[in-house]
């Protein structure tokens, strides 16, 4: 398969997902980026649930992110809280109403249907291939990788249900390690791990 065909598939899938996302938020007059930001905030950890985290994750301007967050807050889908150690920093939390909306709409029905039609082995394969493609693209574009805490090179398991972040020097819970972190570093990705240029 050519890289052009791969991009064609990605673009078409992304378009279909945006259409379903738009429909899921239409009753609240939410745009797809607002729904996506809400979903991100539900899945990210305490190091990443900030306006800067949203900016870095989506690669948007601070102005766009500010307007997105203002809309979500105005509709009661997120709330802000000050950082306990740095009063200039705020954390963004999805409200109960926001969680209900996401439970009804993500994953999109088309994703659920397509996923259910694949055998388990193909599901695992697909996730692994997509993870590798995303990781390589982020590395080549010098973007923050944002990954699951539990698979980060800084994560150390201390015991049953006990984890420690070597970067922040803080203890992590079982819930923490299932969330997305902006400080994520892949255990081994380097230039040698990338596919050869076309």
Considering the domain architecture, whether residues 47 and 12 belong to the same structural domain is answered as yes
Same domain, 104 and 144: no
The predicted pLDDT at position 192 comes to 43
User: Are 126 and 103 contained in the same domain?
Assistant: no
Q: What is the mean pLDDT of the chain?
A: 89
Q: Are residues 90 and 31 in the same domain?
A: yes
Nearest-angstrom CA–CA distance, 115 and 16 = 15
Partners of 79 in beta bridges? 93
Which of left, alpha, beta for 156 (phi over 0: left; psi -120 to 50: alpha)? beta
Give residue 159's domain range.
118-193
Condensed to tens digits (0 to 9), the pLDDT of residues 102-137 reads 998 888 888 888 899 999 999 999 988 998 888 888
Residue 21 shares a structural domain with residue 66: yes
The SS3 of residue 75 is coil
Looking at residue 1, its pLDDT comes to 65
Closest CA to 156 of 147, 169, 139: 169
Asked whether residue 45 falls in the same domain as residue 96, the answer is yes
Give the residue from 79, 109, 139 where a domain finishes: 109
Would residue 198 count as lying in a domain? no
Q: Does 102 lie in the same domain as 15?
A: yes
Whole-prediction pTM: 0.84
Which of 109, 128, 153 terminates a domain? The answer is 109
Q: How many domains does the chain have?
A: 2
C-alpha to C-alpha distances, 60 to 6, 14, 37, 51, 55, nearest whole angstrom: 24, 17, 11, 11, 5
């Amino acid at each position: 398969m050519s890289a052009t065909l791969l991009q064609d598939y990605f673009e078409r899938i992304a378009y279909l997902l945006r259409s379903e996302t738009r429909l899921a938020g239409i009753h609240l007059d939410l745009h797809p980026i607002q729904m996506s930001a809400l979903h991100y905030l539900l899945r990210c950890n305490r190091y990443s649930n900030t306006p800067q985290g949203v900016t870095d994750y989506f690669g948007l301007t601070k102005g766009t992110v500010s307007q997105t967050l203002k809309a979500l807050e105005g509709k009661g889908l997120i709330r802000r809280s000050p950082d306990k150690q740095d009063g200039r920093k705020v954390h963004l939390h999805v409200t109960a109403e926001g969680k209900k909306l996401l439970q009804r709409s993500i994953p999109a029905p088309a994703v659920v249907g397509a996923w259910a039609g694949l055998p388990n082995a193909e599901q695992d394969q697909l996730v692994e291939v997509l993870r590798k493609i995303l990781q390589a693209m982020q590395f080549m574009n010098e973007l923050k990788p944002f990954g699951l805490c539990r698979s980060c090179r800084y994560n150390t398991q201390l015991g049953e249900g006990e984890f420690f972040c070597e970067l922040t020097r803080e203890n992590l819970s079982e819930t923490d390690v299932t969330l997305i972190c902006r400080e994520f570093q892949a255990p081994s990705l380097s230039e040698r791990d990338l596919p050869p240029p076309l």
